[in-house]
Amino acid sequence: MKFLNKIIDELLSQNKDLSQFNIVLPGKRPIVFIRQILEGRQYSGFLPDFYTIEELITKIVDQQVIDGISLWLFAFEVYKSLNLIPNDDFSEFLKWFPTLQKDWDDILKFSESDEAVLQYMFDEERIKEWAQDLGEDEVPRKKFLNFWRNMNIFLPELKKKLHDKNWASPGMIHETAKNKIENFAENNTDTFIFCGFNAFTPIEEKLVRNLLQWNKAQCFFQADHYYFDDERQEAGKFLRNHQLWKEFNDSRSFQWIEDDFNQPKNIKVYEVSGNVTQTKILPEIFSNINNNTYTNTAVVLLDENLLPATLDVMQNVENLNITMGFPLKNLSFSNAVKQLFYLQKQLEKNKTSYYYRDLFPILEELPKSEQDDFIITTFKSKIEERNIVYISQKLLTELLGNLSYFNLLQKAESEYRFLDELINFCQKIKWLPLDDIQYENISHFENAFRLIRNQISPYGFEIKMETLEILINQHINSESIDFIGEPLKGLQLMGLLETRLLNFENVILLSVNEGKLPLGNSQNTYIPFDIRKHFDLHTFLENDSIYAYHFYRLIQDAKNVHLLFNALSSGVNTGEKSRFITQMEMESNHHIEHIIVENSSEPIINNPVEINKTEIVQQQLLKWKEKVSASHLTSYLYNPIDFYLSKVLNTSDTDEIEEELSIRNYGNLVHYTLQEIYEVLKGKDLKIKDLQDSIQQIDDFIDLGIEKLKHQPEFYDKGMNFIHKAIAKKVIANILNYDLELLKSGNTLEIIDIEKRFENVHFYLNEDQSDKVSFYGFIDRIDKLNGTIRIIDYKTAKTKNLTVKIDELNQEDYFQNSDRKQAMQLCLYQFVVQSLPEFWGYPIETGIWSFADAKKGVVSLEFAQGNLDNAMVSIKNIILEILNPDINFVENIKTYSYN
């Protein structure tokens, strides 16, 4: 810590007793390093007092600072008392006041008079509207004019009310200090040491200069000739102004301007494809640092969202100190709390049902006991099985009524009561086995809920759920969880502002992108740029200069600098490197090495998955031989790994809630409805009236199909599902009408069976019939048309390749082509039916009735060449291949070509 060492050496040369000094710092972090330096100097006296400059100004003013929720509530009470129009409620007030308050603080800190700025804003709006017809109240321009008219009344009144209670906003502290600084500088007896400051507010500058004039202060700046001497360098903008103070003269020099930036450095710039990918490079950078403890090394994150990914790659770093906080908004409990408030708002609109997507994130992310976990698992299983998108209050109570926090899922009696329930909930779940971060997360929220509850109660005005949501979101977005580490050794992980006054030999910066460094024109303000310039308020240009200084100051003493930026454009990120990098490339004498890091989009596993047929797998296949279905064989043809997962490992797809009917369930709906229709007609010669009656009752039969799918009827009441149901009805009507036309044409038609189950139909794999498999399955429909038995299989997809051309030359592998799986399935069905005694002696046809071409009727299997015996040889070879221990299950990777 070169800069801090110089300061301590200078102070010790002036006085061996440092308790005579008050050291004023930009932040608290350097204090621990100052103590370490003093320990190294074997200093045994009393320590100096330490202040931040904000603390020093507050001490001078002697007023209580009010900020955040406390200020918002007090300000709203003042606003309501003025009866201004619009008469906003608290939720509307919170949408504009926090931004206005920041602007007001800026005005109070930097301008001569806040009233002058407010009047200027009002006058400017009046000039814009001069000679224009303002029209109705909803015209935006008139709303702006009315807004600044109100602020000229409201903010002066707010200031007066705060003064009456001896309270002050951060900006008011500066304004009040303006009249007290000269007296403080003249009469205090302490000596203040200002260390490492770059930019001051006017009040801070007045304080420092007055103390210098009375010889009660010393200033130590950390500047470098590289950016100080060059007028074009924005990093030295403020320091160059400070050097011109009259207080710096022949008797008091401006300290210190060094020449460290131009010393030899190893600077590398990494162009990285991806945000998180930046963290993956860190281990390689660490491996080139000649220090196993990484002492004197800092990793600086310009994007706090990279903290979790950065910690993941630092698991092997023994000594790690994290200065920056973990953003509260990124934690699961925070997301669950947001969802709870959103759910309450939804319940205000609809108290009778719950949208499943509003519930599931809460149930997944809130900490839970074993009993709660069981209740939630059962609930989700039943909801997914029945595909319930909107859950009724009755069903919710039935399935989740015993959940420990079920009351939080109900419409709150009042917002105050809901806060009490949240506080009680936080108290209870802290007794569950939680990790440290989760426990801290919950504790932060418990304290926030208590704070809001205690702050709101005295005012007694009505609070909407939307208002509570805004307050909680403000809290989530601004709070962070602090880590405990060892700041004096090992690797330092920090944000840019935490590096002030500190120097490191090895510096690694992530997200050195335009928009991150500097932030650019991203100020959230109601005051336009030109007006800010006119009244000397800070604009994004001054903020850019401040960030430029922090950047150059951090690397000026470093020997090894690694600058990483995300080169991919996504969201607000433009993929553009920071202009500070470009400035160094163009203006400095350093050789900068450029490294491009590609984030390969190739899959991790390039080779197909391959499963060996171990002894255990072969045992499972022997069991499989006892129940072989046509769908098993088509699954194998499509992808052997799918067959392995479902038939050997006996896995199944998890149920997922469909907000829109899937192709599979669309097919099931038609299938189940046809089953219900023809089941009542089974075993009789069909009459025209039978089918006409069925056509009239299609809606009732579809309801039975929906019930069989375990879907709610209201699932089909609107949107795409209503259309899918209408299409399904049309397909069913087409099938019934086709059969009706057959009868009208004089054909005879009998429904023999629906969903015909068959099993134990043996098929021999060798000539001596010592090795066999047993077929089982279901045939969708068996009927008799003019004396011919028809085996009909329903398909959602169109039919293809039902004309078989097979002979002794190609029979060995004819069905190895998955495009022929429909024909293979029909051949197997024909073999089965011919094996059943009840069908002996009848001519048999097999075919597919496609829902996509329902009007065409059944498309029959035809043997243009060969016969069923040839087909069964090919089917036998597929079965033998599945059973062959020397042929592994190999993933079939589909390739697609685009013309």
pLDDT in tens, 508-533: 999 999 888 888 776 788 898 899 99
Q: What share of the chain is helix, strand, coil (3-state, %, to 5)?
A: 50, 15, 35
Q: Cα angle at 542 between 537 and 548, to 5 degrees? A: 165
Question: Residue 657 corresponds to which tokens in the numbers above?
Answer: 């809630």
Helix, coil or strand: residue 651: coil
Distance CA 565, CA 568 (A): 9
pLDDT score of 307: 85
Residues contacting 361, CB < 8 A, separation 6+ = 335, 336, 339
Count the Cβ atoms, other than its own, within 10 Å of residue 130. 7
pLDDT at 69: 84
User: What is the per-residue pLDDT across 161-211, written as a single tens digit (0 to 9) for each?
Assistant: 999 999 999 999 999 999 899 999 999 899 999 999 999 999 999 999 999
Q: Beta strands 772-785 and 749-764: pairing type? A: antiparallel
Determine the length of the chain: 899
As a whole number of angstroms, the distance between CA 724 and CA 732 comes to 12
What is the largest distance, in Å, between two alpha-carbon atoms of the chain? 123
Question: Which position has the token pair 């109100």?
Answer: 150
User: Is there a contact between 676 and 701 (Cβ–Cβ < 8 Å)?
Assistant: yes
pTM for the full predicted model:
0.72
Coil/strand/helix, residue 347 = helix
- Reading the block at residue 376, the tokens are 């939630």
Q: Give residue 603's pLDDT.
A: 46
Say which DSSP state 573 is in. B
Which stretches in the chain have pLDDT values below 70? 1, 129-141, 482-488, 522, 570-573, 599-606, 653-656, 894-899
